[in-house]
Structure 1
Amino acid sequence: MRPERAYINATIHTVDVRGSVANAILLRNGRIAAIGTNAEILAAAALSCEISDARGRTIVPGFIDPHNHLSHAMLDAVSVDCSIPPHASLDEVLETIANAAMRLVPGQWLRGFGFTPWALADGREPTRQELDEAVPDNPFFLQDVSCHRGWVNSAGLRDAGIDEYTPQPWGGVISKDHAGEPTGALLEAAVNPMQTRSWRSVVSRDPDAALELLTTQMHYLSSLGITGVCDAAVTPDISAFYHRADVSGHLPFTVQQLHTGDDFFARQDPRRHDFIKRVHDRESDRLRSGTMKLFADPGFPDGPLISCSHGDTHVHRGSAWYGAKEISDIVTTADELGIDAAVHAMGNWSVDAALDAYEAVRRSPKDRERLLRIEHAFVAAPGTQAPRMAALGVDLVAMPGLIHDTGPSFDQGWRAELRHELTIIPIRSMIDAGVRVSFASDAPTGPVSPIELMWNAVTRMSQTGEPIDPDEAVTAAQALRCATINAAHAAGRSAEEGSLEVGKRANLVVIDRDILSCTSDDLRATGVLETVVDGQTIFDGYESVAAAAAS
């Protein structure tokens, strides 16, 4: 039995339907037992209750990240950080890779992460020969920050069995030179073998160490106030790994699995017995399942699938992994099997295709409550799509962090082709239309801090200092709902967490300021002091914050 705890003298934003604000909260047996005034909570508390004086600090529900690639981000600790910055050139990136390769044992895969060639002055990508020079004896896979493309050396190609005779895979491109030799560049589903093999190499080499990598990453997330995540691309390998982590007690908070095919971008087929079993496999308090992830449009080589008309001009760009009917068939088949759906749809054509599929699901009276999600909607038509999304009860999982990090590339790359009805990462117009919007990081692609995501949504500021579609900015109160109760709904857990209400799980965050009344600059500087899951502190940041203030 967990000890009884109470927080008093706080500003508590409950995020309930009324937006109630309280001063104190009582936690008992991992649940919220009472919430109200200091006097009410002290009167309800047992003599043995542990009383914490918040001293005017703010308490909000635990943040939930409904789209996070946790199982891949956990490998960053044993991979090579190839981010730009701090690297200023491709030569610097290659030097960092070469230094890391010196510590490898024979046959061991090495991964590089965070690489953004478009951030380089010349935008140059590494050649296979350059990667061979940096890592001559081991397989090496350098992943673009988007996870949708990568570069591999000759040893990696050999390990995956890719040569000049390898046919182009479904949904991907193996770049080849004029002689038919692979250049080492891979797009979309062509990265599948490298994703899977490099991940397996780390996890199978030392399974216990891999579990510690997972726990370490989850504790890092808890330091940001996160008390739950959805892993947005769970393969059979990853699902088995999560089950082992759950049984061995390595999950400090709940992980919801969004199941893909056999590999990260593999073709989805919900009719397969092994897939159905995986999605409906064992669940626990810490590990949840039941959802299928479907990729509708790729990011490369030509970006989201956009279709729009203006006068006599029609713009259609991008490509699709599936036709509209295929998407509908896959989603409705999953529905018949009792499986929820999350469709990765970046462009407005893909959003429409997903909504058409979801409309078919909603025609069945028994499926009115089926959890249906759209991930991203980077370039959408809120004027027509927001009302449909709201009417169908579809959750939009948006990534406001990408406004800052990659918004300029969206703007520069697509603005000339966007017509008045298309918007980059629409949030405010979706909320105004009644859509339930949640905020997610898409980590490691975007910033993972929920506070940062809220700031991104409130300011719409890009890294160049220019706002991206500023009319889509939201209030801090709206942003808080998107990061808590709405995100809990997208994770299928709004009945048990996401707001601070009696009977719900005692998942909360203590922060150093009132994020609903401070300035936007102060919002971004908010510090997490304590993260509580099921009534127990899993992150205590009081000393570190005090030390930082003293320095």
Structure 2
Amino acid sequence: MKNGLINFLAVVSMAIAGCSSPSGTEGESNMADAIYFGGDILTMEGDTASYTEAMAVRDGKIIFLGEMSKAMEMKGDSTEMKDLGGKTLLPGFLDAHSHYINSLSIANQLNLYPPPAGPGKDVETIIEQLKRFKSENNIPDGELIQAYGYDDSVMPEGRLLNRDDLDRALPNNPVLVNHVSMHGGVLNSLAMENWGISAKTETAPGGVIVRKPGTNEPYGLIMETAFLPIFGALPSPNESQEIEWTIAAQKMYAANGITTAHDGATHLKDIRVISRVTKADKNIIDVIVYPFITELDSILAEFPVSSWGSYSNKLKIGGVKVTIDGSPQGRTAAFTTRYLKGGPAGEKDWLGKLTFPQKFINDFVKKVYDLDVPLNLHANGDGAIDAFLRAHETVAAGDLTKDRHITLIHGQFARKDQLPKFVEYKITPSFYTLHTYYFADAHIENRGLEQASYISPMRDAIDAGLKPTNHTDFVVAPLDQMFMLWSAVNRVSRSGEVIGAGQRISPYEALQAMTINVARQYQEEDAKGSLAVGKRADLVILDKNPLKVAPDSIKDILILETLKEGKTIFQRTE
């Protein structure tokens, strides 16, 4: 009723302006820049699907939703008439969690995802691909070669990539093959020398350094806190590359219908890069960054908290990221029950590890709460989620239910008994349903079928009254919003098995988890996430309506066009 009144007043206002001003002058400037019609215009307003016949946009914002005849009253000489031709228009997708900064360098790295997303099916193929990559790109000796997407959980017969493999293949280049979890990587000898890692290097608390059997020599795989110094020292684009790399990265997001991107765990050097590009006014999408807790003091010295929480040239510092465990597929997530296959370095009775001791977690959470900024909290295993709940109950003992804008990133192995506390403590879970496809088989081996079937419990979360979001965690999984949508609806694994049929959600609920629910996660629901008068014209056009195709066909829907504030930033040309 409220939107109807606003629409009516908008129409009256436009009509009066048009009648009282000469054509082509002030009256023309009050007409719509574009009118969309002729297809399914899905507003994402409310908990059931709602459509409108036409939508009018002016100055990057939506000014009308309703009947075509009334929209035509806003048509001026310069108004573009956008006939959808039976296609589907909906609000632009909002990235609930990815690692945006890493996308800047992806174009210069080798894709080693396992099929179907990449060629990394086994060690032999990985080695062949690395050698080809060096040759085809004319990479000189001595230059770092990076790859991404290595998934040890799908390597045939448990034959894993190691330091010796990389040394034999590329003896004259430092090599880092990043683990698919982004919580570690496999290094060769030259890379270890570069970062000062040797048999004398002690494993940091909360870290993993896999040793060569029978020796103390690092065997290549380094994870979690042991990997953080390496991750923090990875090369960034130089100032002449920053804009070029940024535009390429943002076009990648736009090609997936994304109009707002997320960077989780942003380091100071990365914020500097993003800030310089922003000052040059080169962003084509909105970018939200979350400074990593270990560098928070340094970041605050350059970017005071008074500047956070609002956009400047499409950049916003959204809050703080705290990571308290690893990845379940890497067997570094923290659980209350043991892994069936042991730890990544052969540990027995392995529960995983918290990244930091409980006291540190408490201190980190208190620091963020005291700053009064949103908290993004990475926790995968149920043990890590318990650790955060303990921290919250300790730090916020006087007011446990205040809305502190907490987002639990991943939360994949949340137990059902933890969900009521999410509701009570106003914690938004941002789930990761792509794991039901990419990593389900590994989770079944590591955790058992029952627990694996409950990963990312979207159905129970929604039924409990939560508004969960969904994410790709790119570059951990490919940036593919339609495949992510498909995974939430179908929950089918690589091997074709349904993983937790009881946690499937409807296509509309899955769309909410990548539009309006994400807007709420960012406290931006007044501007984004649905089509309503006054909101930004951040839009995506699909070739088919996800609500009107067979569930298994959702992954095949094409993104035809993406618009940011009414301007096209991606258009499919095929």
Shared fold (TM-score, shorter chain, > 0.5): yes
Matched, 1:92 2:100: no
Residues 276 and 489 (structure 1), Cα distance of their counterparts in 2 relative to 1, 3 Å cut: farther
Alpha-carbon distance in structure 2 between the residues aligned to 1:418 and 1:52: 48
Q: Which deviations, in whole Å up to 9, do the C-alpha atoms of 1:393-451 show, x marking residues without a partner?
A: 211111111111111211222016849xx922211000110111011100111232221
TM-superposed deviation, 1:13: 1.3
Point out the structure with max Rg over C-alpha.
2
Matched, 1:232 2:260: no
Please say which of residues 437-446 and 330-339 is displaced more in the overlay: 330-339
Which residue of the other structure, out of 130, 154, 157, is the alignment partner of 1:119? 154
Residues 514 and 465 (structure 1), Cα distance of their counterparts in 2 relative to 1, 3 Å cut: same
Alpha-carbon distance in structure 1 between the residues aligned to 2:159 and 2:510: 37
CA contact (8 A) 1:57 1:514 kept: yes
Residue of structure 2 in register with 1:509 after alignment:
540
Alignment of 1:88-237 (within 5 A): 88-102=121-135, 103-177=138-212, 178-200=214-236, 203-204=237-238, 207-237=239-269
Q: Which deviations, in whole Å up to 9, do the C-alpha atoms of 1:176-215 show, x marking residues without a partner?
A: 3444332222122222233333333xx13xx333432221
Alpha-carbon distance in structure 2 between the residues aligned to 1:287 and 1:404: 32
Structure 2 residue matching 1:483: 3-state secondary structure: coil
TM-superposed deviation, 1:127: 2.7
Which residue of the other structure, out of 281, 286, 289, is the alignment partner of 2:314? 286
Alpha-carbon distance in structure 2 between the residues aligned to 1:149 and 1:303: 10
Please say which of residues 428-437 and 96-105 is displaced more in the overlay: 96-105
Any gaps of 5 or more consecutive residues in structure 2? 1-28, 339-348
Residue of structure 2 in register with 1:402 after alignment:
435
Which residue of the other structure, out of 426, 431, 437, is the alignment partner of 2:468? 437
Which residue of the other structure, out of 492, 495, 507, is the alignment partner of 1:476? 507
Alpha-carbon distance in structure 1 between the residues aligned to 2:299 and 2:256: 36
RMSD: 2.6
Which residue of the other structure, out of 43, 53, 57, is the alignment partner of 2:83? 53
Matched, 1:389 2:422: yes
Residue of structure 1 in register with 2:388 after alignment:
354
TM-superposed deviation, 1:133: 2.3
Residue of structure 2 in register with 1:340 after alignment:
374
Residue of structure 2 in register with 1:297 after alignment:
325
Alpha-carbon distance in structure 1 between the residues aligned to 2:450 and 2:52: 49
Please say which of residues 295-304 and 143-152 is displaced more in the overlay: 295-304
CA contact (8 A) 2:32 2:74 kept: no
Alpha-carbon distance in structure 2 between the residues aligned to 1:525 and 1:423: 26
Q: Which amino acid in structure 2 is aligned with residue 6 of structure 1? A: I
TM-superposed deviation, 1:276: 6.2
Q: Which amino acid in structure 1 is aligned with residue 193 of structure 2? A: R
Residue of structure 2 in register with 1:312 after alignment:
none
Structure 2 residue matching 1:522: 3-state secondary structure: helix
Residues 454 and 60 (structure 1), Cα distance of their counterparts in 2 relative to 1, 3 Å cut: same
Alpha-carbon distance in structure 1 between the residues aligned to 2:356 and 2:192: 27
Please say which of residues 402-411 and 279-288 is displaced more in the overlay: 279-288
TM-superposed deviation, 1:279: 6.5
Q: Which amino acid in structure 2 is aligned with residue 530 of structure 1? A: E
TM-superposed deviation, 1:256: 0.6
TM-score (normalised: structure 1)? 0.89
TM-superposed deviation, 1:328: 3.0
CA contact (8 A) 1:437 1:482 kept: yes
Which residue of the other structure, out of 100, 103, 116, is the alignment partner of 1:73? 103
Residues 274 and 9 (structure 1), Cα distance of their counterparts in 2 relative to 1, 3 Å cut: closer
Residue of structure 1 in register with 2:18 after alignment:
none
Alpha-carbon distance in structure 2 between the residues aligned to 1:83 and 1:433: 35
Residues 505 and 364 (structure 1), Cα distance of their counterparts in 2 relative to 1, 3 Å cut: farther
Q: Which amino acid in structure 2 is aligned with residue 118 of structure 1? A: S
TM-score (normalised: structure 2)? 0.85
TM-superposed deviation, 1:81: 2.1
TM-superposed deviation, 1:534: 0.7
Q: Which deviations, in whole Å up to 9, do the C-alpha atoms of 1:135-157 show, x marking residues without a partner?
A: 22222101111112211111111
Q: Which amino acid in structure 2 is aligned with residue 516 of structure 1? A: L
Residue of structure 2 in register with 1:428 after alignment:
459
Q: Which deviations, in whole Å up to 9, do the C-alpha atoms of 1:206-245 show, x marking residues without a partner?
A: x333432221121122111111111112111111111012
Structure 2 residue matching 1:466: 3-state secondary structure: coil
Matched, 1:490 2:521: yes
CA contact (8 A) 2:40 2:87 kept: yes
Please say which of residues 123-132 and 476-485 is displaced more in the overlay: 123-132
Alpha-carbon distance in structure 2 between the residues aligned to 1:269 and 1:78: 26
Any gaps of 5 or more consecutive residues in structure 1? 262-267, 310-314, 545-551
Residue of structure 2 in register with 1:9 after alignment:
38
Alignment of 1:255-266 (within 5 A): 255-261=287-293
TM-superposed deviation, 1:57: 1.8
TM-superposed deviation, 1:65: 1.1
Alpha-carbon distance in structure 1 between the residues aligned to 2:393 and 2:532: 33
Residues 111 and 495 (structure 1), Cα distance of their counterparts in 2 relative to 1, 3 Å cut: same
Alpha-carbon distance in structure 1 between the residues aligned to 2:544 and 2:507: 13
Q: Which amino acid in structure 1 is aligned with residue 321 of structure 2? A: K
Matched, 1:41 2:71: yes
Matched, 1:523 2:554: yes
Structure 2 residue matching 1:131: 3-state secondary structure: helix
Structure 1 residue matching 2:321: 3-state secondary structure: strand
Alignment of 1:359-374 (within 5 A): 359=393, 368-374=402-408
Please say which of residues 212-221 and 60-69 is displaced more in the overlay: 212-221
Which residue of the other structure, out of 479, 491, 494, is the alignment partner of 1:463? 494
Residue of structure 2 in register with 1:549 after alignment:
none
CA contact (8 A) 2:318 2:374 kept: yes
Structure 2 residue matching 1:467: 3-state secondary structure: coil
Please say which of residues 475-484 and 2-11 is displaced more in the overlay: 2-11
Residues 417 and 339 (structure 1), Cα distance of their counterparts in 2 relative to 1, 3 Å cut: same
Alpha-carbon distance in structure 2 between the residues aligned to 1:248 and 1:479: 36
Q: Which amino acid in structure 2 is aligned with residue 7 of structure 1? A: Y
TM-superposed deviation, 1:95: 2.0
TM-superposed deviation, 1:80: 1.7
Alpha-carbon distance in structure 1 between the residues aligned to 2:398 and 2:535: 31
Residues 170 and 215 (structure 1), Cα distance of their counterparts in 2 relative to 1, 3 Å cut: farther
CA contact (8 A) 1:293 1:341 kept: yes
Which residue of the other structure, out of 307, 313, 323, is the alignment partner of 2:336? 307
CA contact (8 A) 1:399 1:441 kept: yes
